[in-house]
Structures are given as structure tokens and as C-alpha cells.
């Protein structure tokens, strides 16, 4: 899978997940400033994106014919 395919596949999902998490943090009062909101969205987007890519790679390895 090409890098552009990975980005197109997983980045929108990661951004939506991080926005939902940020909205929950705003609702509960965890985030109080716009800069903190922006940093949280960026960090969570990166974390979710990396997590999705790693999970997909492990999933393909485990369930491929050459895998376990």
C-alpha cells in the first residue's frame, strides 16, 4: 500500500475521532483555551492516525496467508 493510499484511508477517520474527543473535552471543561484545543486536536489526530496504520499492518500480517 502506497503512503498516499494510507493517508487517504486513515487520516479522515483520525481527524473525526480527534474532533469528537476534543468536543467531549470542551463539554466536560478539560479544554479552556483555543490554543489548547488546537494542540489537542493535532496530537490526537496524529496518535489515532499512527494507531490505525499500525493496527492495519498487524491485522494484514496476522490474517494473511503467510501470517499466523
Encode pLDDT of 1-56 as tens digits.
Answer: 677 888 899 999 999 999 999 999 999 999 889 999 999 999 999 999 999 999 99
Q: What is the residue range of 54's domain?
A: 3-62
What does the alpha-carbon distance between residue 19 and residue 13 come to, in Å, rounded to a whole number?
Answer: 10
Inside any domain, residue 68? no
Q: What DSSP string describes 8-65?
A: HHHHHHHHHHHHHHHHHHHHHT---SHHHHHHHHHHHHHHHHHHHHHHHHHHHHHTSS
Inside any domain, residue 67? no
How many folded domains does the chain comprise? 1
Residue 7 is predicted with a pLDDT of 87
Inside any domain, residue 53? yes
Instruction: Evaluate if residue 67 carries a pLDDT over 60.
Output: no
Amino acid at each position: 500500500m502506497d503512503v498516499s493510499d494510507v493517508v487517504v484511508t486513515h487520516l479522515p477517520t483520525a481527524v473525526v475521532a480527534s474532533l469528537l474527543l476534543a468536543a467531549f473535552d470542551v463539554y466536560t471543561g478539560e479544554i479552556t483555551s483555543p490554543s489548547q484545543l488546537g494542540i489537542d486536536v493535532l496530537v490526537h489526530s496524529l496518535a489515532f492516525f499512527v494507531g490505525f496504520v499500525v493496527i492495519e499492518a498487524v491485522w494484514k500480517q496476522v490474517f494473511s496467508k503467510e501470517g499466523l
